[in-house]
Chains A and B, each alone.
Chain A
Amino acid sequence: MNKPTQFSLSMRVLHWGMAALVMSMLAAGLLMIRSLDPWQLTIMTLHKAFGIIAVVLVTVRLLNRMRHKLPAVPNDLSALQKKAATASHWLLYGLLFAMPISGYLMQYFAARPIEVFGWFRLPAALQVDIYNYAVFRELHGWLAIALTGVIALHVSAALHHHFIRKDNVLKSML
Chain B
Amino acid sequence: MKQLYLALLLLPAIGGLHAEASDKVSAQQFVDLQQGKTAFAGFRRAHAKGLCVSGEFRSNGNLQSYSKASLFQPGTTPLVGRLSIAGNNPAAPDLKAPVRSLALSFSLSRTEQWRLAMNTPPVMAVADPHSFYQQIQAIQAGPDAIKQFFAQHPESSEFLTWAGQYQPTGSFAAETYNSINAFYLVNAKGEPQAVRWAMQPTVSVAPGNLQGDNALQQEIATRIAADQVVFDWVFTLADATDDETNSTKAWPASRQQITAGQIVLTGSTAQLDGDCHAINFDPLVLPTGITATADPILRARSAAYAESYRRRAKEQRQGALQESSNE
* Contact status B313-A121, CB under 8 Å: no
* Contact status B303-A123, CB under 8 Å: no
Q: Is A111 an interface residue (CB 8 A)?
A: yes
CB within 8 Å of A: which B90-132 residues:
107, 109-113, 129-130
Q: When the two chains form the complex, which single residue of B27, B30, B129, B314 contacts A33, counting CB atoms closer than 8 Å? A: B27
Q: Mark A98-139, 1 if CB is under 8 A from B, else 0.
A: 000000000000111100000001111111111101110110
Nearest B residue to A128 via CB reads B278
* Contact status A35-B19, CB under 8 Å: yes
Contacts of A135 in B (CB 8 A): 317
Q: Is A17 an interface residue (CB 8 A)?
A: yes
Contacts of A41 in B (CB 8 A): 284, 292, 299, 302
* Contact status A37-B299, CB under 8 Å: yes
CB within 8 Å of A: which B282-304 residues:
284-285, 288, 292, 294, 296, 299-300, 302-304
Contacts of A84 in B (CB 8 A): none
Contacts of B277 in A (CB 8 A): 130
Beyond A24-B15, A41-B292, whether A36 also contacts B9 by CB under 8 A is: no
Interface size for A (C-beta < 8 A) is 43
Q: Mark B9-23, 1 if CB is under 8 A from A, else 0.
A: 101110110011010
Q: When the two chains form the complex, which single residue of B8, B110, B285 contacts A123, counting CB atoms closer than 8 Å? A: B110
With the chains together, A25 CA to B313 CA distance in Å?
A: 24
* Contact status B8-A36, CB under 8 Å: no
Q: Mark A1-41, 1 if CB is under 8 A from B, else 0.
A: 00000000000000011011001101110111111111111
Nearest B residue to A20 via CB reads B8
Q: In angstroms, how far is the closest chain B Cβ from the Cβ of A82?
A: 25
Q: Is B210 an interface residue (CB 8 A)?
A: no
Beyond A24-B11, A40-B302, whether A130 also contacts B278 by CB under 8 A is: yes
Contacts of A110 in B (CB 8 A): 280, 309
- 18 pairs across A/B with beta carbons < 8 Å? A19-B9, A23-B12, A33-B306, A35-B303, A36-B24, A36-B304, A37-B300, A38-B294, A38-B296, A44-B303, A110-B280, A110-B309, A112-B285, A113-B111, A113-B113, A121-B112, A126-B110, A127-B107
Which residues of B does A touch, CB under 8 Å?
A: 1-2, 4-5, 8-9, 11-13, 15-16, 19-20, 22, 24-28, 30, 107, 109-113, 129-130, 275, 277-280, 284-285, 288, 292, 294, 296, 299-300, 302-304, 306-307, 309-310, 313-314, 316-317
Which residues of A does B touch, CB under 8 Å?
A: 16-17, 19-20, 23-24, 26-28, 30-41, 44, 110-113, 121-131, 133-135, 137-138, 174
State the 3 A-B residue pairs at the shortest beta-carbon distance, nearest first: A20-B8, A123-B110, A130-B278
